[in-house]
């Protein structure tokens, strides 16, 4: 496997364990990155570490420090950091199994691919993977990665396992902090009915190939034009939102969204309840 693993250690289910490796499931190699240049010479700028009193500092003379109060630091060496080793530094121990829908979407973070690390791990890895498939639940465990212990959510996929880092409770803000300031508003049922029909007309399968970064595409086009020596003019500023009648806007939107809604309008007028939406699986999120 050409890709370098992000983490290597052991996956353990009770007394069964096997060596595994984690690989990042996403890539950022296609993003447009800009370098800092001198305006006059176009030479690339070098960021030189500088002591505000003594001037430039060699990399070898830089140490890590934690600020415990303003201007007062505790210096920690790399060796001391390495000595802080939890069991989860090398072992992802499955602690429990939960329903995927029990995990709030706010907690899902980065996805990784987990694979057995060597042929000797194949049998035990396959046993754990197939048992997880039959259980139909998400496995939770912890590991230390990038100097942090992270909760992981694991689910089987094909011949391997997909592992997601989960944000901890301190990282997730409470929705009430924002939503409690929204004034209570009960919209007219007729407007909600039309908006629901618009949603029906826009319903369709998730196709990730349709969701490219158009802003990045525009940046690449800009770079090509500049490379050819062309002058790029700014487009017209988009018009501000017009103050119009909301019901009229909904009706016009319904006409412009196109046909093909799966439910008939009569269904909405009859007051029949909309079937509960199924929770999307972890696989769809990947």
Interval 79-112: pLDDT, tens: 887 777 777 788 999 999 999 999 999 999 999 9
Average pLDDT over residues 20-36: 86
Q: Does some domain include residue 92?
A: yes
Does 232 fall in a domain? no
Least confident of 122-126, 247-251, 261-265: 261-265
Local confidence band at 271 (pLDDT 50, 70, 90 cut-offs): very low
Long-range contacts of 199-206 (CB under 8 A, 24+ apart): 200/261, 200/262, 200/263, 201/254, 201/257, 201/258, 201/259, 201/260, 201/261, 202/257, 203/261, 203/262, 206/284
Q: What is the CATH number of the domain that holds 101?
A: 2.40.290.10
- pLDDT greater than 50 at residue 172: yes
Match 């000595």 to its residue by tokens.
Answer: 83
pTM: 0.69
| Total of domains in the chain | 2
Give the residue numbers spanning the domain of 191.
Answer: 183-204+244-275
Q: Please determine, for residue 187, whether its predicted confidence score (pLDDT) is greater than 70.
A: yes
Is the model more confident about 160 or about 215?
160
Residues 117 and 258 in one domain: no
Catalogue the E-assigned strands of 77-147.
Answer: 91-98, 108-116, 138-145
Residues 156, 189 share a domain: no
Residue 252 domain flag: yes
In a domain, 107, yes or no: yes
- Residues 25 and 113: beta-carbon distance below 8 Å: yes
Q: Give the integer Cα–Cα distance in Å for 152 and 150.
A: 6
Instruction: Give the whole-number percent of the chain exceeding pLDDT 90.
Output: 44
pLDDT (0 to 100) of residue 283 = 42
Judge whether residue 278 has pLDDT over 70. Answer: no
Lowest-pLDDT choice from 17-26, 39-48, 71-80, 273-282? 273-282
**Strand, coil or helix: 9:** strand
In a domain, 263, yes or no: yes
Report pLDDT for 165: 95
Flag the least confident range among 77-86, 111-120, 151-160: 77-86
Does 251 reside within a domain? yes
**Given this model, what pLDDT does residue 23 score?**
96
Co-location of 110 and 160 in the same domain: yes
Q: What is the pLDDT of residue 235?
A: 73
């Amino acid at each position: 496997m050409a890709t370098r693993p992000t983490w290597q250690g052991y996956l353990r289910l009770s007394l069964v364990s096997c060596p595994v490796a984690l690989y990042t499931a996403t890539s950022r190699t296609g993003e447009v990155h800009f370098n800092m240049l001198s305006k006059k010479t176009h030479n690339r700028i070098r960021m030189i570490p500088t002591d505000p009193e003594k001037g430039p500092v060699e990399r070898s003379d830089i140490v890590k420090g934690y600020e415990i109060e303003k201007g007062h630091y505790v210096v920690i060496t790399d060796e001391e950091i390495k000595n802080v080793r939890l069991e989860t530094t090398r072992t992802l121990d499955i602690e429990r199994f939960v329903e995927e829908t029990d995990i709030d979407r706010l907690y899902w973070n980065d996805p990784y691919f987990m694979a057995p690390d060597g042929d000797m791990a194949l049998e035990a890895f396959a046993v754990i993977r197939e048992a997880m498939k039959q259980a139909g639940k998400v496995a939770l465990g912890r590991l230390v990665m990038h100097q942090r212990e992270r909760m992981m959510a694991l689910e089987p996929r094909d011949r391997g396992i997909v592992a997601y880092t989960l944000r901890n409770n301190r990282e997730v803000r409470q929705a009430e902090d924002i939503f409690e300031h929204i004034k209570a508003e009960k919209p007219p049922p007729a407007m909600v009915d039309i908006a629901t029909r618009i949603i029906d007309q826009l319903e369709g399968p998730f196709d990730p190939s349709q969701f490219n970064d158009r802003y990045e595409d525009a940046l690449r086009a800009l770079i090509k034009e500049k490379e050819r020596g062309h002058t790029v003019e700014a487009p017209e500023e988009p018009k501000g939102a017009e103050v119009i009648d909301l019901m009229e806007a909904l009706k016009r939107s319904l006409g412009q969204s196109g046909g093909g809604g799966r439910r008939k309008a009569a269904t909405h007028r009859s007051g029949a309840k909309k079937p509960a939406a199924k929770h999307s699986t972890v696989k769809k999120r990947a």
